[in-house]
Amino acid sequence: MLASACALAVLSGVAGLATAGDLGEFHLYDSGNANGPVARKLMVLAEDKDLAVLAHVDDAAVDLLMAHTPSRGGKLRLIWAHTGIGDASVARVDALLARYPGLMGELSSAPGSPAKAVRRVAPADPEIPERFLVGSTPGSMAAGGLTTT
């Protein structure tokens, strides 16, 4: 708990890296921020402590974050929030899943990628459905269910 609170205090003061109130979830608004010192340390810590990290990032940042781990992404458990955000192709999602065994796709809709992520990447690899998660994001829900735009 203390480590989480300390990490949150450090992370919340870093430009380009915003947390959602927990060590395990963050947003990178620019892929290049994945090369920042705090992002690098977070990836090493997560792999070392076997923590799952929920990252709101594009596909380029997935590669950058994975590269900062001791295993080069072989052991890190990274949940890619809104998989496909930033218009990653199905082939690109497939390639990332093949390269990183701990990468999981989270399929909630989000502003800028409403339900299209679900339509585009859900069938990307039907052999490994356990690597896709369905969540929800405040603001992505319409009265009566998920948005369908």
Tell me what the pLDDT averaged over the chain comes to.
73
What is the arrangement of strands in the sheet containing 25-28, beginning at the earlier edge strand?
Answer: 17-19, 25-28, 52-56, 77-80, 103-106, 132-133
Segment 15-52, tens digit of pLDDT: 344 444 345 678 888 999 999 999 999 999 999 999 99
Question: CB 55: neighbour CB atoms within 10 A?
Answer: 25
Q: What is the pTM of this model?
A: 0.71
Q: What is the pLDDT of residue 148?
A: 38
What is the Cα gyration radius of the chain?
15
Closest CA to 109 of 88, 127, 135: 135
